[in-house]
Amino acid sequence: MATKRKKISINKAQVDSVVKVALLGFGTVGSSVARVLAASKFRGVELTHIFNRNPAKKRSSDAAKLVPASVVWTDNIDVILRSDVDIVVELMGGLNPVEGWLRKALAAGKSVVTANKQLIAYRGTSLAKLAALHDVYLMHGAAVAGGVPVIPGVLQGLGGDQVTKLSGIVNGTCNYILSRMEGGADYATVLADAQQLGYAESDPAADVDGHDARAKLCILSRIAMHAELNPDEVATQTISSIEAIDFSYAKELNCTIRQVSRAELDGKLVHARVAPMLVPLASPMAWSHGTQNMVIVSGRYGGDVVFSGHGAGGEPTAVAVVSDVLAVAQGCKTVELPVRKREVTGDFMAPHYLRFVVDDKPGIVSAISGALTTVGANIDSLLQRRGYPKHRLPFVVTTEPSLTSTIEHALASIARMDCMLERPLCLQMLEAEDKAE
């Protein structure tokens, strides 16, 4: 381990000499970071090392043409850890083996910049403590919403407020799929297009089932509401059950459908959920299309603040990464406020959209109404579009505001009715006066 090297302290930055940077990962984002650094020529910042599997192949790629010839390419992480680099930029993702590498980097006095949302969601607090112990930085501005400066905006711009609620669209893949379906495309076709364009992985479960957005919601809850949540306890719901008919019914309700991540502080409890939800057309979230991200942060004193922009893609994410690198290089200290572990529930008091597909026969609506009445929920409206066969009829019931758990309890009995051809679909409906109870 090199012993004579400059350390970037969180108390005083060494801005009068070169800050050396190593990249872990030279994929879409990593190559974009290298390109931004090469094109911008930031004074005092130098890319010196790149770690990646099969470095010879990466080095000969078109993406590497702007990488300085002096950069050391390696597939041996120890080369990075034993080097005199000041900042390790991690863009590989996942927990293992990345967590172990970054812990060693921090312990060796190297600051870390990462876009790894799973790592920060699950290990962010302990890694931050390790960074503080060794008087270096841990920065993760690109972990949520890519190039949209949500994290620095909340930390620096809203640190003086008491944030009580946040909601938003933080997964570009799901937003691309659902906004395309809003225009009439079917789920399977749009998913295939998203995979072809590189927006979705060959196994899209992390995106469409809400796990990616869940990690981001936990990060936002920590920095905005100072609430530490266990990601595994946050309720998620897949978007794969959404069909074209749901957008037709949503339009009749002056809504559209988006994957929404929402959290609300309620004393020592946090209500949190990631799921497709009906969003009023008047809401800013309904205006977000394609891979755009949007986050709405609600504070006790400052009211609502909206962050919006391109949340996916190599270059937007690279902007956030490089901004963190510059902040570290210049010794920019972030606001630090105490974080407390909180219990979490997926329950919200809200109207609900219930879509049923039935073999039509007399008494179905009465039976559904009875099941809802039994748990204390009331029907607000019933929608039935013409043109569908009686033996496979989709129709929708909306409820007055009720706890999600109450509606789900009623649906458990409704799903067992002989007339039901599919499992009923239940979506929360957002409205301005939504509140958790």
Spans of the chain below 50 pLDDT:
1-5, 11-15, 433-437
Helices 172-182 + 244-252 axis angle, to 10: 70
Q: What pLDDT was estimated at residue 56?
A: 93
Residue type, 205: A
Of all residues in the chain, the percent with pLDDT exceeding 90 is 87
If you search the block for the tokens 């919403």, which residue do you land on?
Answer: 145
Task: Measure the CA–CA gap between 358 and 336, rounded to whole angstroms.
Answer: 54
Task: Measure the CA–CA gap between 27 and 23, rounded to whole angstroms.
Answer: 10
Buried b (16+ CB within 10 A) or exposed e, 192-202: eebeeeebbee
Q: Catalytic positions, please?
A: 216
Q: What pLDDT was estimated at residue 91?
A: 97
Buried b (16+ CB within 10 A) or exposed e, 63-88: bbeebeeebebeeebeebbebebbbb
Q: What is the pLDDT of residues 123-175, one digit of tens each?
A: 999 999 999 999 999 999 999 998 899 999 999 999 999 999 999 999 999 99
Task: Measure the CA–CA gap between 257 and 259, rounded to whole angstroms.
Answer: 7
Is 0.85 topped by the overall pTM?
yes
Task: Measure the CA–CA gap between 223 and 220, rounded to whole angstroms.
Answer: 5
In terms of Cβ atoms closer than 10 Å to its own Cβ (0-12, 13-18, 19+), residue 115 is buried
Q: What pLDDT was estimated at residue 199?
A: 83
**In 10 A of CB 283, how many CB atoms?**
20
Chain center to CA of 387: 38
Q: What is the pLDDT of residues 268-311, one digit of tens each?
A: 999 999 999 999 999 999 998 988 999 999 999 999 999 999 87
